[in-house]
Structure 1
Amino acid sequence: MSTYVLKAARRDVGRAGALRRGGFVPGIVYGGGGENVAVKMAAADVLRFFQQQGGRGILQLEIDGRPETVMVKEVQRHPVRLDVLHIDFQRVRMTEKVHASVPLRLEGEEALVKAGAVLQHALREVEVSCLPADLPSELVVDVSSLAPGASLTVGDLQAPPGVEILNDPDQVVAVAVAGRAARTAGQAAPEAGQEAGAGAAEDAGQDAGDDAGGGDA
């Protein structure tokens, strides 16, 4: 579980644009039986949080020095610059399960390339349910044993103890597609056979011509 601490302060509602121009990111904290609290955080601190924690997991949000255990529920970004414009935080209780998105990290792709396959990603993250203390930062998936043409589904994933994956078990995570090397290798044998057959026919034709020529002589 992440114990990252992000400092925040209460803010007035309705001045988000001015806050951003002043180097802050507005946000709101809700849930957990408490009141909705509008907050602001230094943009530099928010950037550091996303660089170090990916903007995920459980963290301590210190609002004017008072800690709140929260998780990031939604992030709004600028459509072009991708700057963080607003963050929704949800309070969590350590004894109650939470629903969260967890990214997938696929390992072993090099083995597929050597086998002549290309890995196509179909799913980048999964939804899980677990206690806050059990929430993983990511799920590592080994794809090195996938054969060309085979697929990996959610049902093949191994969740850590205490973590339940909520996605449909039949949902495809990744597919090992036969690459150019595999296709070339598969085509080489028929082409070689065709060339051999053509050569044999040509030789037979030449032999027949030679025989005919010998008869004329």
Structure 2
Amino acid sequence: MSEKIQAEARTEFGKGAARRIRREDKVPAVIYGHGNEPIHVTLPGHATMMALKHGGANALLELEIDGKSQLALTKQVQVDPIKRHLEHIDFVAVKRGEKVTVDVPVHLIGEAARETLVVTENATVQIEAEATHIPEAIEVDIEGAEVGTQVHASDLKLPSGSTLLTEADTLIVNVTQQISAEALEAELEEAEAEAGIEREEGDADVDEVGAEDDAPAEGETSSEG
């Protein structure tokens, strides 16, 4: 599903113009594709942010520009690292029925068996799908999965009309034996020993040594005052 956003054609460019746009709670954006010249637009900040949240990594927006409608697939989003507002968006122009190549995130559902460790080896897979039917995520059910369970790209259930482009034997999820804290510590110490790393004395060891140094020697008595 695409979300409709009212866009304005943009004629001012550069950092100064972009700052002015953001001060008005708007977002500068560019639409590429179909062999046309890039289309520079300004989008409403809040409405665009909500549309991207609803659509996920491959949000599809229907931009209304000067009375014309343009489907635009999100390709790159720049976000201010501190204020978290949208700084700039790159879109690719698409048409209904057109197939596009996208990376779709993998979401795990359910809980694996006790004392297991679930490792997501690849968090996304590449698929080809119709621009208006891109899945927000591909779910992998790991409910009750035992040690040794592996999910490869070829095991994924894709929506109808989607084609897997990632290599079929790519490992997506690997369920292994959960390692105990003691075993993890032993592995860490072994790795440090092989690397020639010597651990520094812990606080407890230092306190113990200090206590021994402060204690009176045999045959001596301590006095205060």
Question: TM-score per shorter chain, which class?
Answer: 0.7 to 0.9
AA of the residue aligned to 1:20: R
AA of the residue aligned to 2:152: T
Q: CA 1:39–1:55 in 2, change beyond 3 Å: closer, same or farther?
A: farther
Q: CA 1:172–1:83 in 2, change beyond 3 Å: closer, same or farther?
A: farther
* Matched position secondary structure for 1:54: helix
Q: CA deviation at 1:46?
A: 1.8
Q: CA 1:75–1:118 in 2, change beyond 3 Å: closer, same or farther?
A: same
* Matched position secondary structure for 1:52: helix
| Partner residue, 2:93 | 91
Higher share of residues assigned helix: 1
Q: Give the fraction of aligned pairs with identical amino acids, expressed as a percent.
A: 27
1:152 correspondence with 2:151? yes
* Matched position secondary structure for 2:58: coil
1:38-77 mapped onto 2 (5 Å cutoff): 38-77=40-79
The answer as to whether partners of 1:49 and 1:55 remain within 8 angstroms in 2 is no
Give the TM-score normalised by the residue count of structure 2: 0.70
Give the TM-score normalised by the residue count of structure 1: 0.73
- Report runs of 4+ in structure 1 exceeding 6 Å deviation: none
AA of the residue aligned to 2:85: D
Q: CA 1:175–1:55 in 2, change beyond 3 Å: closer, same or farther?
A: closer
1:5 correspondence with 2:7? no
How many residue pairs end up in the alignment?
179
Q: CA deviation at 1:33?
A: 3.7
Query: Over residues 171-212 of structure 1, what are the superposed CA-to-partner deviations in whole Å (9 max), with x where a residue is unaligned?
Result: 22122122258x99xxxxxxxxxxxxxxxxxxxxxxxxxxxx
Instruction: Say which is worse superposed, 141-150 or 154-163, in terms of deviation.
Output: 141-150
1:119-158 mapped onto 2 (5 Å cutoff): 119-144=118-143, 146-158=145-157
Which structure 1 residue ranges, 5 or more long, are not aligned?
185-217
The answer as to whether partners of 2:151 and 2:171 remain within 8 angstroms in 1 is yes
Q: Which protein shows a greater Rg?
A: 1
Query: Over residues 33-80 of structure 1, what are the superposed CA-to-partner deviations in whole Å (9 max), with x where a residue is unaligned?
Result: 433111111211122112322253332111234210111111122234
**Which among 84, 106, 109 is matched to residue 108 of structure 2?**
106
Which structure 2 residue ranges, 5 or more long, are not aligned?
184-225
